[in-house]
Structure 1
Amino acid sequence: MEKALEILVIGGNRYVGKRLVARLLADGHQVTVLNRGSAPPPAGVEHLLADRDDERSLTGALGSRVFDVVVDQVCYTPRQAAIARRVFTGRTRRYVMTSTVEVYEYEDSTDPVREEAVDPSTAAVDPGLPWDDPAFLETHYGEGKRQAEAVLAAGQGFETAMVRVAHVLGGDDDFTGRLAHYAERMGTGEPIAVPAVNRPATYVYVEEIARFLAWAAGEDFTGPVNAASSGTLSTEELCTAVAAHVPGGRAEFRPVEVGEVSPFSFRRSYGMDNARAARLGFTFGEARQWLPRAVAETLGKGD
């Protein structure tokens, strides 16, 4: 086994985070979880209670603790990143931020996008925007993550890696309800609204992204890395997988030019190139291979 590390996970209560913590423990690392305490951590984990938006609260909860690695699951804004930069300078040598495919929201290309398309070192940062407003943050999710990356990349004191995560599927605890949206409409015969030109996207299996994050914690690369299974999936392919679990299920699509569309249907391509991850030593699987299993888990039909 590789050397055991002292690892802090910020967040870690649910979905990807709890799987990440379980993997780190199984790998023999010493794991501390820091969050606001909405759910208890698993056995074998030290639990620190703090509001990561409150610098004094965060500093007080950490005390004199230091870590080999921090994995930040819940950094959404440049303000949060700036607090993290100040608080963890001198407390860790490596910082892994969970970012998102949404940082590429303005890179409308039919080719899989590479990391260099959005360079954190050159991204503009505006901490004066209303980042504390939940409605603003929801509609500027990609921008918040992009600016958070930039803040972490600009500072000194520790090395930073940004894991740009594709849309996550799988698990019986998927709280998003996105696949259930399709199942419900198939069950009632309601049409599924999609863009008139509906683009595919890259996805990643929930267990695979947890494995990647655990692996990344022990590596030494820096900068952004795309985390996505190989191959894109269309809305039609997702619905075909869902239909297998809906009696008489058949997807009826209703193309719309403007207005709200169903989850996992996109007016622009969200395909990511995962070649950098492969060069660094991690090979993602094929999305079409795990898709049936992921859908079965989420819809309660898993083994």
Structure 2
Amino acid sequence: MQRICVIGGSRYFGKLLVERARAAGHQVTVINRGSSRPPTGVEHLVVDRDDEAALTAALGSRTFDVVVDQVCYTPVQAAIAARAFDGRTRRYVVTSTIEVYDPATAALPPVSAGTPVPEGSVDPAAWLVALDLPWHDEAYLAAHYAEGKRQAEAVFARAGSFAFASVRSAHVLGGGAREFTGRLAHYTGRIARGEEITVHAQALPTVFIHYEELADLLLWAAAADFTGPVNACSDGPLDVHGLTAVIAAQARREPVHRVVAAGQEASPFSFDRHYAMSNARAKELGFSFSRTADWLPGAVAEALATEPSPTV
């Protein structure tokens, strides 16, 4: 039994992580702003993580074996958490993102075309941190999401008072109506209605993970002893045409693709750059991944089931 603190944990795979940690017999505390109550038997601290004094007061004398931070988006939030949990936990795990590798948002080391990106391409210990940028501004944060995540990792990597690990998640799918991003629904809805999907002329592969698998991996990472980043993605990269083919087969509608001009934005998951990660490190550490092809049809079926019935 571990004492696990989850920051966030109110929806999607974070909520599932809390449920599975509790079911496994762990003592779980959830910290959020009160948007939803955790399951029975889970301690709930209602506090704004951005308010350092309030967070420290809410924590009181509590200590934990591990903190799993689901909602850290900026280096300022990371710095507050690093101070608040100094001496309160032996391990800190942050949910990060594949977007830290996006070459459109940072100057990154070159990777051979078609080569899945390894964790070392973005080393948090060496990444520059700028706490004085306008991270509090929602528009700025939205435009600098990937950089906010990179710098948040960097702050934790240098904290030194606890072992730090980050889980860099691939694009998360599954869960039907629970999938709040709406990206899979974008495809299932448009294909079911016969509407066009915008794609790049040479759409390149990316990687995905099912939300249940990501919850399992986060719980595994909480109990492990590795440090540094691990990539989290199912086996089997997929480009936008492969994705629409799976949806089309179940919707029984041919996808309508429209190619956008170079430099123009296309539908989510259509990329004009190779955008796939290597999951070799997590495998070497002992985690077994599923194959995208095994769970994607079920996720598509769930998404199609949430589509409104056509009017007559």
TM range (shorter): over 0.9
Alignment-derived partner of residue 135 in structure 2: 131
Alignment-derived partner of residue 20 in structure 2: 23
Counterpart CA distance in 2 for 1:250 and 1:195 is: 15
1:168 to 162, 169, 172: 172
Counterpart CA distance in 1 for 2:210 and 2:64 is: 28
Tell me which amino acid in the other structure corresponds to 2:142. Answer: E
1:287 to 279, 285, 292: 292
Alignment-derived partner of residue 220 in structure 1: 225
* Shift, 1:153, TM fit: 0.3
Once the two structures are superposed, the pairs formed by residues 74-113 of structure 1 within 5 Å of their partners are 74-106=71-103, 107=108, 109=111, 110-113=114-117
Alignment-derived partner of residue 123 in structure 2: 119
1:143-185 deviation per Cα after TM superposition (whole angstroms, max 9, x unaligned): 0000000000011111100111110011121011112212232
Counterpart CA distance in 2 for 1:148 and 1:43 is: 31
1:89-108 deviation per Cα after TM superposition (whole angstroms, max 9, x unaligned): 10000000001111111256
Tell me which amino acid in the other structure corresponds to 2:138. Answer: P
* Shift, 1:249, TM fit: 4.3
* Shift, 1:60, TM fit: 1.5
Percent identical pairs in the alignment equals 57
Alignment-derived partner of residue 205 in structure 1: 210
Tell me which amino acid in the other structure corresponds to 2:182. Answer: G
Alignment-derived partner of residue 7 in structure 2: 10
RMSD, matched Cα: 1.6
SS of the residue aligned with 1:284? coil
* Shift, 1:290, TM fit: 1.1
* Shift, 1:251, TM fit: 3.2
Counterpart CA distance in 1 for 2:157 and 2:199 is: 37
Determine if contact 1:189/1:252 at 8 Å carries over to the other structure.
no
Counterpart CA distance in 2 for 1:158 and 1:250 is: 49
More divergent stretch after superposition (75-84 vs 190-199):
190-199
Alignment-derived partner of residue 243 in structure 1: 248
Tell me which amino acid in the other structure corresponds to 2:257. Answer: E
Alignment-derived partner of residue 46 in structure 1: 43
1:184-210 deviation per Cα after TM superposition (whole angstroms, max 9, x unaligned): 322343321112221110111111010
Counterpart CA distance in 2 for 1:298 and 1:161 is: 32
Tell me which amino acid in the other structure corresponds to 2:89. Answer: T
Counterpart CA distance in 1 for 2:251 and 2:298 is: 15
Once the two structures are superposed, the pairs formed by residues 123-202 of structure 1 within 5 Å of their partners are 123-172=127-176, 173-202=178-207
Alignment-derived partner of residue 54 in structure 2: 57
For structure 1, the 5+ residue unaligned runs are: none
Counterpart CA distance in 2 for 1:206 and 1:223 is: 22
Counterpart CA distance in 1 for 2:141 and 2:204 is: 24
Counterpart CA distance in 2 for 1:224 and 1:91 is: 22
Instruction: List, as ranges, runs of 4+ consecutive aligned residues in structure 1 with deviation greater than 4 Å.
Output: none
Determine if contact 1:230/1:287 at 8 Å carries over to the other structure.
yes
SS of the residue aligned with 1:92? coil
SS of the residue aligned with 1:121? helix
Counterpart CA distance in 2 for 1:29 and 1:104 is: 33
Query: Is 2:234 the partner of 1:229?
Result: yes
Tell me which amino acid in the other structure corresponds to 2:60. Answer: G
* Shift, 1:247, TM fit: 4.7
